Structure 1
Amino acid sequence: MYDILRSAHSGLRWLVLAALVIAIVNSFGKTKGGVTFANKDKKKALFALIFTHIQFLIGLVLYFISPKVVFSGASMKDDVLRFFLVEHVSLMVLAIILITVGYSKAKRTAMDGKKFKTIMVYYIIGLILILASIPWPFRNLGGSWY
């Protein structure tokens, strides 16, 4: 079960990143106004939101069953254990909160240009936090490209 969830979590990362980039690029050129916030624009932002929430749910299960998450005082002295116990989960939760708030604020905003700008800003900040907290192979935290 653990290996299946870990593989799904690792593979879904690429869909999350792609969906966020698509939503950001879509919003980037339309922030000046004059373009209506169409249903297809809403769906791009919504798919990014959905993928991040699915990724969060899988990650939440992994947090409690992973051998990399050790709840002890000694974990804080080990870089890898500390990363998975505190840093990874904290930054990911913060990123998901920002993405969710950005989508919710954009839905409530009346002006279309402001909707695009809200999504762009919140999703960019969320993407940066996600990229910073992924255990990339070059960080020597036991992560892989897939």
Structure 2
Amino acid sequence: MSVSRASMYLGQCLPCLKKNVSKFNITKMILDPNLRMYFPESTVLYAHDPQKLCKTGDVVLIEELKEKFSREVTHKVLEVVYPCGDITDPITGKKLSGGKYRDEEEEISEMYGKHPNSFDYKSAPPRGWQEDKKDFTHVDTYTKYNASDDSPYAV
């Protein structure tokens, strides 16, 4: 399982224990010549990210470095394309909620009346407002080696 050489990749950020480095899952569709069908193949890459631009779950554009930092770190983070939890249709540019467009859901709720417990995306705060409450993606994680370790940041 290897990704063919390209200068840029689109990948999803994974939890990483290394300093100034982020870990990414790169998925590529590979053709099976016998079945004549495409199947996903995943590869993990490490990218230099000193500004900590991406959090776990973000879809990020990464570029190959001219000179490698180490044997593992071969790329650098360019930009966050889609933040985690904020899904955007790449063709229309509209925001999604589940499998439906948000603006279509709003039109339907206006026609039939809004439910009092429905979520309002326009008045919702941006991602990151629950850091240290329910969102721990900004915290450095580490591997849990002992069952008696009760730290919430262990993986």
Q: Which has the higher strand share?
A: 2
Q: Which has the higher helix share?
A: 1
- The alignment's TM-score, normalised by the length of structure 1, stands at 0.28
Query: Greater RCO between the two (CA within 8 Å, min separation 6)?
Result: 1
